[in-house]
Chain A
Amino acid sequence: MTMYDVELQNVTKRFGSVVAVDHIDLCVPRGTFLTLLGPSGCGKTTTLRMIGGFEHPDEGTIVIAGQLMGRTPPYRRPTSMVFQNYALFPHLTVAENIAYGLRERRLDRQTIERRVQEMLRLVALEGYGNRYPRQLSGGQQQRVALARSLVIEPAVLLLDEPLGALDLKLRRQMQLELKRIQNQVGITFIYVTHDQEEALTMSDQIAVMNQGRIEQLGPPEELFDRPRTRFVADFLGAANVLTAEVLAADRTSACLALAGGRLVVHEPDLAPGQTVAVVIRPHWLRFARDGDAAVWQGRVTERVYKGATIAYRVELDAVTAVTVEVPTGTGDLLPTVGETVGLAVAPDRVRVVRE
């Protein structure tokens, strides 16, 4: 018995000349909420559909719950999918939709009836069993789709941008709800989205995908605080990406020159003279106070009030400008447009990334 529910090894999928998924490896431990995050066309949906059995890999193997899948059709896989637009059967009632998979499993009527009621309770839709999908709101339809998939007790639940059609408020509410349900049923969820906020809120693990490959896999905090590539830094949250030159380096750290400032970062394997990309999140930067060592001097060109924070645009030199985000209401005296300021950053916050 393996501890992984889903294992992808060297999986590749091509459509004609387009490589949709490019030799990816992925292991999902049992009970994990894993999100495949990336822009459209990055291969996340194809990956999900291969796990579900709707597409078959051209290369590589997929193992689900310890079984090698090969060309096993969807109806013989221990997975279940919540589709992007729910794909509820329009000619069946909510209860019949939920009972669909149970009837395929030849369960007796009482069992089906009981399980359907349990599911309706789980997704907070008691009393809606006799309605048709079109009589429900988007959020309710979403819950029915979830119930319909969960009721057949899959080892892995696949979710293909299930919240995409909902409005922002409902989406936030459903995010929490999905997380609650996942905790309650305890099975593996693989969730596909292009919404980074959604990914950060719900996931135990996030795999950021780009051009058919996984750029980085890890818990949300790790991806956010320690992005390994420029793409990951850009895709998850706002980031200042600057070009720096390595002035000096030893085994554990390096001294970088960027936009006229100097920084020592804890980053191994750099060579003097090398040019690298550096990521600094706007909220890692702060205005240098008296006695604070300013790394850069710059001029404030823009100030945007955002409620909890204020975003500043600061020009460091003729070609480089950075965004700085500072909290409001701290009582600190904040600079105005046109003012010259000093900027500081904690060295352990600065990330050197791959292009």
Chain B
Amino acid sequence: MAASNVLLAPPRRLPAAVLLTVLPAFLLLTGFLLVPLLLLALYSVYSTDPVTGLMRPDFTLDNYLRIVTSSVYRRVFVRTVEIAVVCTLIALLIAYPVGYTLGAIVPRRRQPFLLLLVIVPFWTSYIVRTYGWIGFLQNGGFLDSVLSLLLPGTVQLDLLYSRVAVVIGFVHVFLPLMILPIYAITRSLDRRLLEASADLGAPPWRTFLRVTLPLTWPGVVAGASLYFIAVFGSFVTPQLLGGTGDLMIGNLIADQFGEAFNWPLGAALAVVITLVVLVALGIFFRFADLERLHG
């Protein structure tokens, strides 16, 4: 009954006690995330003293200009986009069937357990899982030894420290981000719609294209945006699994703190990452119906 739902809703007015309870978290996130992010934006227009290498409070767009004009930075930026896009597409090819299977094919009572198996690796250390790929891919490692057992005398794959290794690592490490929204939306898919489509004469592949895919699209967009954001800002995977030709923006930033130590430039790079993330988020909120994802 609509009326009684309205009545049961918590009061609209904000009592002082409620304000007090949400205040600490608000202060924490403002003081240790929002303000630092604003500071980051500020530092990105500071300059660096060419002699001492120290930061000077200035207003200059030199850092951004350098990123745009320098062929090195442009190359890294393009490469980062490239890697992120490729990984997102491959992850989608894997995550869609998995999410669909979990949501629509596996019986309901077995879903929680299988879902658990997707979530558990996601909650275990990123570093350690990436480390596992080193052992898996390195020469003389797991894959290599299995291959030489099956096909003796084959050449070494030399997979580690290559683009392939980076993609394998990335696809793996954030895969659950993509599977979960697709699973959620598939689960809420009304199976009778598929039956209706079949009943009206559509063969399964047409049903998939005309009913299933459009209805699960918000889940796909949600998963893909989250996934893209995660890959785009990473630096650990290329650092551990890639070669020198596989470095991404994240690595450039990390380097500005290590060897190069150019804070304003690092800040400007971080702002660039944030901008790309914002665009991806915009897409996410534009297309993903969050209510349905949670239903």
Taking the complex as a whole, does A directly touch B, i.e. does some CB pair lie under 8 Å apart?
A: yes
A127, CB-defined interface residue at 8 Å: no
B window 221-261: CB within 8 A of A:
none
Q: Which residues of B lie under 8 Å from residue A46 when comparing CB positions? A: 3, 7
B4, CB-defined interface residue at 8 Å: yes
Q: Which residues of B lie under 8 Å from residue A40 when comparing CB positions? A: 1-4
A141, CB-defined interface residue at 8 Å: no
Q: Which residues of A lie under 8 Å from residue B2 when comparing CB positions? A: 40-41
A20, CB-defined interface residue at 8 Å: yes
B20, CB-defined interface residue at 8 Å: no
Separation of A40 and B1 alpha carbons in the complex (Å): 6
For B1-31 the 0/1 string (1 means CB < 8 A from A) is: 1111011000000000000000000000000
Considering only CB atoms and an 8 Å cut-off, how many residues of chain A contact the other chain?
A: 10
A15, CB-defined interface residue at 8 Å: yes
B177 to chain A, nearest CB (A): 33
B116 to chain A, nearest CB (A): 23
A84, CB-defined interface residue at 8 Å: yes
Separation of A341 and B3 alpha carbons in the complex (Å): 46
Separation of A198 and B1 alpha carbons in the complex (Å): 18
Separation of A150 and B155 alpha carbons in the complex (Å): 83
Task: Considering the complex, give the chain B residue whose CB is closest to the CB of A42.
Answer: B3
Q: Which residues of A lie under 8 Å from residue B3 when comparing CB positions? A: 20, 40-41, 45-46
Interface contact A45-B6, CB-CB below 8 Å: no
Q: Which residues of B lie under 8 Å from residue A45 when comparing CB positions? A: 1, 3-4, 7
Separation of A46 and B7 alpha carbons in the complex (Å): 8
Interface contact A55-B4, CB-CB below 8 Å: no
For A57-87 the 0/1 string (1 means CB < 8 A from B) is: 0000000000000000000000000001000
Q: Which residues of B lie under 8 Å from residue A84 when comparing CB positions? A: 4
Separation of A49 and B7 alpha carbons in the complex (Å): 9
A181 to chain B, nearest CB (A): 24
Separation of A160 and B2 alpha carbons in the complex (Å): 15
Q: Which residues of B lie under 8 Å from residue A15 when comparing CB positions? A: 6-7
Task: Considering the complex, give the chain B residue whose CB is closest to the CB of A55.
Answer: B7
| Main SS at interface, chain A | mixed
Task: Considering the complex, give the chain B residue whose CB is closest to the CB of A41.
Answer: B3
Q: Which residues of A lie under 8 Å from residue B1 when comparing CB positions? A: 40-41, 45
Task: Considering the complex, give the chain A residue whose CB is closest to the CB of B12.
Answer: A16
Q: Which residues of A lie under 8 Å from residue B7 when comparing CB positions? A: 15, 20, 45-46, 49, 55
Q: Which residues of A lie under 8 Å from residue B6 when comparing CB positions? A: 15
Separation of A248 and B4 alpha carbons in the complex (Å): 48
Task: Considering the complex, give the chain A residue whose CB is closest to the CB of B4.
Answer: A45
Separation of A41 and B2 alpha carbons in the complex (Å): 8
Separation of A40 and B4 alpha carbons in the complex (Å): 8
Q: Which residues of B lie under 8 Å from residue A49 when comparing CB positions? A: 7
Separation of A50 and B186 alpha carbons in the complex (Å): 43
B15 to chain A, nearest CB (A): 14
B window 80-134: CB within 8 A of A:
none
Separation of A225 and B1 alpha carbons in the complex (Å): 29
A44 to chain B, nearest CB (A): 9
Q: Which residues of B lie under 8 Å from residue A160 when comparing CB positions? A: 4
Q: Which residues of B lie under 8 Å from residue A41 when comparing CB positions? A: 1-3
Q: Which residues of B lie under 8 Å from residue A20 when comparing CB positions? A: 3, 7
Task: Considering the complex, give the chain A residue whose CB is closest to the CB of B6.
Answer: A15
A window 17-34: CB within 8 A of B:
20
B window 45-63: CB within 8 A of A:
none
For B127-156 the 0/1 string (1 means CB < 8 A from A) is: 000000000000000000000000000000
B3 to chain A, nearest CB (A): 4
Q: Which residues of B lie under 8 Å from residue A55 when comparing CB positions? A: 7
Task: Considering the complex, give the chain A residue whose CB is closest to the CB of B3.
Answer: A41
A67 to chain B, nearest CB (A): 24
A329 to chain B, nearest CB (A): 40
Separation of A45 and B7 alpha carbons in the complex (Å): 9
Separation of A138 and B4 alpha carbons in the complex (Å): 21
Separation of A160 and B8 alpha carbons in the complex (Å): 13
A window 137-165: CB within 8 A of B:
160
Task: Considering the complex, give the chain B residue whose CB is closest to the CB of A164.
Answer: B1
Separation of A40 and B7 alpha carbons in the complex (Å): 12
Separation of A46 and B3 alpha carbons in the complex (Å): 9
Task: Considering the complex, give the chain A residue whose CB is closest to the CB of B1.
Answer: A40
Task: Considering the complex, give the chain B residue whose CB is closest to the CB of A15.
Answer: B6
Separation of A6 and B93 alpha carbons in the complex (Å): 67
Q: Which residues of A lie under 8 Å from residue B4 when comparing CB positions? A: 40, 45, 84, 160
Separation of A255 and B6 alpha carbons in the complex (Å): 48
B156 to chain A, nearest CB (A): 60
Separation of A15 and B5 alpha carbons in the complex (Å): 12
A window 37-53: CB within 8 A of B:
40-41, 45-46, 49
Interface centre among B1, B3, B7 (most CB of A within 10 A): B3
> Which residues of B approach A to under 8 Å, CB–CB?
1-4, 6-7
User: 4 additional contacts, CB 8 Å, given A41-B1, A46-B3?
Assistant: A40-B2, A45-B1, A45-B7, A160-B4
A-B pairs with the 3 shortest C-beta distances? A41-B3, A40-B1, A45-B4
> Which residues of A approach B to under 8 Å, CB–CB?
15, 20, 40-41, 45-46, 49, 55, 84, 160
21 contacts between A and B (CB under 8 A): A15-B6, A15-B7, A20-B3, A20-B7, A40-B1, A40-B2, A40-B3, A40-B4, A41-B1, A41-B2, A41-B3, A45-B1, A45-B3, A45-B4, A45-B7, A46-B3, A46-B7, A49-B7, A55-B7, A84-B4, A160-B4
